[in-house]
């Protein structure tokens, strides 16, 4: 039975197709439309899933939407009534849209499905609705390698729920505890994202990356004034400091007064205050998560923990949770945000509605490395490159790997597009920009000249799984880049007294280890372990680089520039190549060098960025 899951209309729309519980295909809409965090109906992602499965539209037994729009509307209406007359302006602007489009979302979904998919199918008879946090929980538990587990989901908000605890056993999944809006750990983090001058729902990872430059000097103030944390980790926010339930902003003037001034203007200079605020909300988030995990372990008696929801993408907190050894094992859904809700919605129908028995994966999990997106053949790639006017070399696989490993050792920035695209926000060696981690200049160079983004942003290492414990304080798998661990002490460089005394961004340019390009200012790194069974070509490349250099690691960052989604197609990859200072491009078995390309094909990225 084919079941199609959909998430849409908030951010990161996506589609996922499963067959009898097995994941066939999944992709975010943004990758096709080239509109970052695209919230529209995922027409392109749906068409891709159907094409990948090679089925007719009539073979789809059910389409499942990842949440219940009417319950969400109920929350919106009740919230405005509870806070009235405050927020009337926001209420007046939101209501017409909700009444016109979202209150009657079932009709809208049926219309979109009929327009997207040709065929005489009565979608009203096949359309089902999951619940937002149930979708998250299902996406976390069912693909995991565990027969039994506790399941924790944390995000901004779904319908009413912001945090949920469930227990999974075989095919069964039961939600046993919830925390409701407006009390939300995700929205607390987003409030600080907004206050430090970053964009909500996309800038949270910037706050996480900024945190090591600061000190958590405001953490106690946050706990005293903003959030009341119980012994079991449950929490309540003091809503007098926040504007998000009904207003047009996340925080208000009372929040400003508490932290000594108005929010930072986007793109203005970062100060020590923003760094300290980032460190503080990160520390509070970690403290809540640890308390919650200890309580869950004690209450449920479960030895395994599964995580999903946007907060589960906080890989620093995840790494701390792992090192606390509260649970024997932890598994995190790689598409932990709303895009993964499409997967969870489909799986929840198969296992809960149809009560089908669950087969545990014989590997690490059943996500197939999260390589669930489109693949482009050599024929398609060559035709696309010719159409773009590109100059290229077609090589056999072993020679391509040899040439790319040489370019890495020569400190070139390389666009690497191979196999099926990743599902979720992380590039995992299918749509990646890769580089030599041994270069002291590489981190700043990639940020400013290739990614065109803030210089403080850290990069992740992709490491051969068999070498991870030799380089990092970590001895388990991290295939989805969702865990942070420290670089081994013997790999670190001794810091001079004056270097230790530096504050803030001044810390940035000091090499801290023999792999400085991926070593953050606190000696940490967001690790991806690379496995031969899920990505043999990427594994072979890193192995070749290791043979040449003695380093089993490459820098891995997403194949995109600031303001754009990760590349999907060969055309996207070539455009990014020509619009940045990437020096070498490898797509399938095709190798391209920047110096051989026609100068007229260069794309003015700065001009595009001004329009973003």
Question: CB under 8 Å to 301, separation ≥6 — which residues?
Answer: none
Query: What integer pLDDT is reported at residue 607 of this predicted model?
Result: 47
Query: What integer pLDDT is reported at residue 612 of this predicted model?
Result: 31
Rg of the chain in Å (alpha carbons): 24
Kindly report the backbone phi and psi dihedral angles of residue 73, in degrees, each rounded to the nearest multiple of 5, phi listed first: -65, -40
Query: What integer pLDDT is reported at residue 453 of this predicted model?
Result: 78
Kindly report the backbone phi and psi dihedral angles of residue 528, in degrees, each rounded to the nearest multiple of 5, phi listed first: -120, 120
Residue 393 burial (CB count, 10 A): 13
Torsion-angle region of 170 (φ positive above 0: left; ψ -120 to 50: alpha; else: beta): left
Torsion over CA: 338, 339, 342, 348 (sign): negative
The secondary structure element, H or E, covering residue 46 is: helix 43-53
Query: 220-264, pLDDT tens digit by residue?
Result: 999 999 999 999 999 999 999 999 887 778 999 999 999 999 999
Query: 369-419, pLDDT tens digit by residue?
Result: 999 999 999 999 999 999 999 999 999 999 999 999 999 999 999 999 999
Between β-strands 148-154 and 161-169, what pairing exists: parallel, antiparallel or unpaired?
antiparallel
Torsion over CA: 334, 339, 344, 350 (sign): negative
Helix, strand or coil for residue 224? helix
Kindly report the backbone phi and psi dihedral angles of residue 353, in degrees, each rounded to the nearest multiple of 5, phi listed first: -70, -45
Residues 484, 318 contacting (CB under 8 angstroms): yes
Cα–Cα distance measured from residue 331 to residue 318, given in angstroms and rounded to the nearest whole number: 10
- Mean pLDDT, the chain, whole residue set: 92
* Residue carrying structure tokens 């108005």: 262
Q: Same fold for the domain at 2-137+336-370 and the one at 378-610?
A: no
Cα–Cα distance measured from residue 168 to residue 20, given in angstroms and rounded to the nearest whole number: 19
Q: What's the CA dihedral at 475, 318, 414, 599 to 10 degrees?
A: 180
Determine the length of the chain.
612
Query: 495-519, pLDDT tens digit by residue?
Result: 777 777 776 667 777 888 999 999 9
Tell me the CATH number for domain 2-137+336-370. Answer: 3.30.420.40
Residue 145 burial (CB count, 10 A): 16
Print the SS3 string covering 527-553: EEEECCCCCHHHHHHHHHHHHHHCCCE
Instruction: Identify which of 105, 175, 78 has the alpha carbon closest to the alpha carbon of residue 136.
Output: 175
Per-residue buried b or exposed e for 592-609, using 16+ beta carbons within 10 Å of the residue's own CB: bebeebeeeeeeebeebe
* Residue carrying structure tokens 């209450």: 299
Query: What integer pLDDT is reported at residue 472 of this predicted model?
Result: 97
* Model confidence band, residue 610 (pLDDT cutoffs 50, 70, 90): very low
Percentage of the chain surpassing pLDDT 90? 80
Domain boundaries, given as residue ranges, for the chain: 2-137+336-370, 180-331, 378-610
Distances (CA, A) of 147 to 142, 143, 150, 349, 363: 9, 10, 11, 18, 13
- pTM for this model (two decimals): 0.93
* Residue carrying structure tokens 């810091």: 495
Residues 434, 410 contacting (CB under 8 angstroms): no
Cα–Cα distance measured from residue 337 to residue 10, given in angstroms and rounded to the nearest whole number: 11
CATH 3.40.50.300 fits 180-331, yes or no: no
pLDDT reading at 313 higher than 80: yes
Query: What integer pLDDT is reported at residue 87 of this predicted model?
Result: 57
* Model confidence band, residue 92 (pLDDT cutoffs 50, 70, 90): low
Class of the domain covering 378-610: alpha beta
Query: 437-462, pLDDT tens digit by residue?
Result: 999 888 888 888 788 877 778 899 99
Mean of pLDDT values over 593-605: 87
Mean of pLDDT values over 109-118: 94
Average the pLDDT over each of 94-103, 177-186, 310-319 and give the range with the smallest value.
Answer: 94-103
Query: What integer pLDDT is reported at residue 8 of this predicted model?
Result: 95
Kindly report the backbone phi and psi dihedral angles of residue 438, in degrees, each rounded to the nearest multiple of 5, phi listed first: -80, -15
């Amino acid at each position: 039975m084919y079941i199609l899951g959909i998430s849409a209309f908030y951010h990161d729309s996506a589609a996922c197709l499963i067959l009898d519980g097995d994941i066939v295909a999944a992709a975010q809409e943004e990758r096709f439309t080239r509109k970052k965090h695209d919230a529209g109906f995922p027409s392109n992602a749906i068409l891709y899933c159907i094409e990948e499965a090679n089925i007719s539209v009539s073979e789809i037994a059910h389409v499942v939407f990842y949440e219940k729009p009417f319950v969400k509307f109920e929350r919106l209406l009740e919230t405005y009534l509870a806070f009235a007359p405050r927020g009337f302006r926001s209420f007046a602007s939101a209501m017409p849209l909700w009444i016109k489009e979202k209150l009657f979302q079932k009709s809208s979904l049926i219309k979109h499905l009929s327009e997207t998919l040709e065929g005489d199918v009565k979608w009203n008879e096949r359309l089902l609705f999951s619940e937002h946090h149930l979708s998250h929980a299902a996406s976390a538990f069912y693909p995991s390698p565990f027969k039994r587990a506790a399941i924790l989901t944390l995000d901004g908000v779904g319908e009413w729920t912001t945090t949920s605890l469930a227990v999974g056993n075989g095919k069964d999944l039961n939600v046993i505890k919830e925390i409701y809006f407006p009390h939300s750990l995700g929205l607390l983090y987003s409030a600080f994202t907004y206050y430090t001058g970053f964009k909500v729902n996309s800038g949270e990872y910037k706050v996480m990356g900024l945190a090591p430059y600061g000190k958590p000097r405001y953490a106690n103030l946050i706990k005293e004034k903003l959030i009341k944390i119980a012994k079991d980790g449950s929490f309540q926010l003091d809503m007098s400091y926040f504007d998000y339930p009904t207003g047009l902003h996340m925080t208000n003037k009372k929040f400003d007064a508490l932290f000594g001034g108005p929010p930072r203007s986007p793109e203005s200079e970062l100060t020590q205050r923003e760094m300290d605020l980032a460190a503080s909300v990160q520390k509070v988030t970690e403290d809540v998560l640890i308390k919650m995990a200890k309580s869950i372990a004690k209450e449920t008696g479960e030895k395994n923990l599964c995580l999903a929801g946007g907060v589960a993408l906080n890989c620093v907190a995840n790494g701390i949770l792992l090192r606390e050894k509260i649970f024997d094992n932890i598994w995190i859904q790689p598409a932990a945000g709303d895009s993964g809700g499409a997967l969870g919605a489909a799986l929840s129908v198969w296992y809960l509605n149809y009560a089908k028995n669950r087969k545990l994966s014989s590997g690490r999990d059943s996500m197939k490395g999260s390589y669930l997106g489109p693949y482009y053949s050599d024929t398609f790639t060559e035709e696309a490159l010719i159409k773009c006017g590109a100059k290229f070399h077609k090589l056999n696989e072993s020679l391509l790997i040899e040439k790319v490993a040489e370019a890495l050792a020569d400190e070139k920035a390389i666009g690497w597009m191979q196999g099926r695209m990743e599902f979720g926000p992380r590039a995992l060696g299918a749509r990646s920009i890769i580089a030599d981690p041994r270069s002291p200049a590489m981190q700043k160079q990639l940020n400013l000249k290739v990614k065109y983004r803030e210089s403080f942003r850290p990069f992740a290492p992709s490491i051969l799984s068999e070498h991870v414990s030799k380089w990092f304080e970590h001895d388990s798998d991290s295939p989805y880049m969702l865990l942070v661990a420290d670089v081994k002490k013997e790999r670190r460089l001794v810091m001079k007294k004056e270097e230790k005394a530096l504050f803030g961004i001044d810390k940035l340019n000091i090499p801290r280890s023999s792999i400085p390009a991926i070593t953050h200012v606190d000696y940490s790194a967001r690790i991806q372990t690379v496995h031969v069974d899920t990505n043999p070509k990427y594994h072979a490349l890193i192995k070749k680089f290791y043979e040449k250099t003695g380093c089993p690691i490459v820098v891995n960052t997403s194949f995109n520039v600031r303001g754009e989604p990760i590349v999907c197609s060969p055309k996207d990859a070539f455009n990014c190549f020509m619009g940045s200072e990437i020096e070498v491009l490898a797509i399938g078995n095709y190798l391209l060098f920047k110096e051989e390309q026609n100068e007229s094909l260069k794309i003015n990225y700065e001009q595009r960025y001004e329009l973003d």
